[in-house]
A and B are shown apart, each in its own frame.
Chain A
Amino acid sequence: MNSLAAFPASLRCLAILAVLVGMTGCGRTPPAYFRLNMVEATKQRLTSDQERQVSTILLAMFGTPDEPVALPETGLDLAKLKLAAGPVRSDIAGRKNGLYREHCGHCHGITGDAMGPTAAFLNPYPRDYRPGVFKFKSTERSDKPTHDDLVRILHNGIPGTSMPSFALLSDVQIDALVEYVKYLSIRGETELALMRAYFELDDDAEGKLPETQEFLVAETLVPVAEKWQAAADARIAVPEMPAGLDLAVSIAKGKELFYGDKANCVKCHGPTGLGDGQANDYDDWNKAIVEIGKEVQSGLAKAGETSTSGMSADEVAEHRAQVAWLDRFGQVLTGDALRPRTIPPRNLRHGIYRGGRRPLDLYYRIHAGINGAPMPAAKGTVPPEDIWHIVNYVLSLPYEFDGELGADRTLVAQGR
């Protein structure tokens, strides 16, 4: 019974160590791999043969996390990708390689799917690059960010989130990381397009995508890559803030717009600007998971009520297949997605602006809205001059105290 106690403590520790080493093994770590987008694959009801075909096509077009491949149509610079890809290591001159895994992978994941080991602990969650949607940029809502926009994010980080500044990295390193983020995004968007293409197949294709240059490159990759290449010329033309503007007058006008029916900021950012208006909405990444979750739940509830008696053999088989699919989807949602979170509108009294705090940054956010988020675009219905007034009012909000705010309520709402 007490045979173990007969050994001295140090020996017992050694025994534990030996067991641990035995479990982890002393062999080489298996090479890193890109994980398939299982949420989309399951949503599109792909068979395992179809999942394998997508994996194979992606391997051909984009290579592996250790050995990236960039077809010329992507417009990506392979030398830069190689600096960012692969395991963390230094070359003979001491130059660091494997930058993505050193600095980004633990949150954004090897695949860029925002499923890195630390992702679940962050709020907001890290960005999932695969849908190709980015929030903070100088281009119109539907356009990609420019290279410089992403460089800026890496330099400054995103205040109010877990995204830190990488200003200590060299320009060459930041450039390489931005290129690699584009690579993961183009890869992820291509993957989504491939998975969605199965539904569009004609019946005589027998559930197999054509592995031709025309389909894979011209029809699938090029439309994704072209948008990245067009971003540099898609910057929003911002008119100068009207010269000789009286700031106090502009702030007053901005306040009127903020609360008025034209700009309507108050509906979400709240009558106090604390972000306490319409606050139970989701961003596009989380909304997709919420909607699938509802579908799975209602499907399983309905299946639970359905009796198979009186069904033909075919109907029973169909019913069982449906239940199996719903069960699998439930598993995929717990293993391949994070629990959805709502996106509260920004509290404008903190003075923390995720996309940058220059007046210009706020102009971009109001003009084009925030892609992927509920924030709509004001362009077209709110003239540029009015957008500048709103910018000035919003920038004054963290410092606004004219006595009115404290008259009927405390400055900071209860429980905030």
Chain B
Amino acid sequence: MVALRFVSVLGISCCLLSGCRPARVSVPGADAEAAGTLRATLVSAPAAGAQAEESAATGTGWATLKGRFVYAGAVGEPKALVVDKDTEVCSKGGMKLFDRSLQVDPSSKGHANVVVFARKTTRVKDPVSDTPLVFDQKNCEFLSPVFAARVGQPVDVRNSDPIGHNTNIAGSSFNQLIPAGASTVYKPDSETGMPTMVTCNIHPWMKAYCVFRKDGYVAVSAADGTFTIPDLPAGEMLEFQVWHERSSGPSGAVGLSKPELKWTPKGRFQIRLDPDDVKDLGTLEVPAGALGS
């Protein structure tokens, strides 16, 4: 009996000492010696002549890239969204809202809302336009499921509903109240990298994505799956990134098997365009397995 008590006291003490927190995964430690050397290089003045290697091979002239995405998999019935707020507007007359994460044209299999953008470019043809783009919401839905703009270009964030919304762009600190029928101008001030989510906190089913690029070389595939990026720098190697909301690739990257374009699992391909060329990549088939749930 006493021995039992002794063991249980010991057990409880051990538990108290070691804690009952779940075990944390182990983390590789830093290399102290390498860190010391690195710190020395970081505090010293930049090496002279570091500027010299800037002049990468650049070409001349401009060209256009086109293509068309099709989806090879089966498209089920879109899920109806749960609309439980402001139903007098958001489900007016029995109107239903549906999940728009996969939009495929039934006849042509055209795959909409695939994003293509240039990763790095050396030159840009036109300065940033002052003409505002419109990002609107109506019937408790963002009208552009995927929206692209150039950094610095004004975006007119509009609300065409008779009720108030807010527009919250993840990672941008833009979260603005948009009263019924009103609008506000937003100038994206930095690139998004991969597209980022846009939501309305008042109506949690509302969702869209937006992508902002400094050079503006970005396109979103249309309802028939086609996309066009005009005025790209010609005569130099360009690398493009491809993204889709439902892609099972890392961060939404769409990886295709296209060795002639060096298409990688990170959803990137490379191409060199000739001046004044309108290069059509033709039909780009997204296999059924490339999209997740």
Contact = CB atoms under 8 A, between A and B. Distances in A.
Interface of A: 1-5, 12, 16, 19-20, 23-24, 35-36, 38, 45, 48-49, 51-52, 55-61, 69, 71-72, 141-142, 196, 199-200, 202-203, 211-214, 216-217, 261-264, 267-268, 278, 280-281, 284, 298-299, 302, 328, 331-332, 334-336, 369, 371, 374-382
B55 interface: no
Given A55-B28, A199-B250, A382-B177, A60 B42 contact: yes
A142 B293 contact: no
Contacts of B23: 331, 335
Interface stretch (B142-150, B168-176, B208-216): B168-176
A216 B42 contact: yes
Contact of A23 (B17, B174, B184): B17
Nearest to B239: A202
Contact of A2 (B3, B30, B162): B3
Contact of B179 (A5, A35, A264, A302): A264
Given A16-B10, A59-B35, A381 B17 contact: no
Interface in B220-279: 239, 250-251, 264, 266, 268
A6 to B, nearest CB: 10
A321 to B, nearest CB: 12
Contacts of B106: none
Contact of B2 (A2, A16, A38, A72): A2
Contacts of B48: none
Contact of B201 (A5, A142, A374, A380): A374
Interface size class of B (residues with CB under 8 A): 35 or more
Contacts of B43: 71-72
Contact of A264 (B25, B27, B30, B202): B202
B21 interface: yes
A4 B30 contact: no
B179 A263 contact: yes
Contacts of B35: 56-57, 59-60
Interface string B147-185: 000000000000000111011101011111111101011
A378 B202 CA distance: 14
B30 A55 contact: yes
B42 A334 contact: no
B177 A377 contact: yes
Interface in B16-39: 17, 21-25, 27-32, 34-36, 38-39
Contacts of A281: 201, 204
Contacts of B39: 60-61, 69
Given A45-B250, A264-B202, A60 B38 contact: yes
Contacts of A20: 13, 17
B272 to A, nearest CB: 16
B92 to A, nearest CB: 16
16 contacts: A5-B3, A20-B17, A36-B27, A55-B28, A58-B30, A60-B36, A141-B173, A211-B38, A213-B41, A217-B42, A267-B164, A268-B202, A278-B85, A369-B176, A374-B201, A376-B177
A71 B50 contact: no
B292 interface: yes
B179 A71 contact: no
A52 B30 contact: yes
B184 A376 contact: no
B124 interface: no
B128 interface: no
B119 to A, nearest CB: 8
Nearest to B41: A213
Contact of A302 (B6, B21, B292): B292
A196 to B, nearest CB: 7
B27 A141 contact: no
B46 interface: yes
B193 interface: yes
Contacts of A217: 42
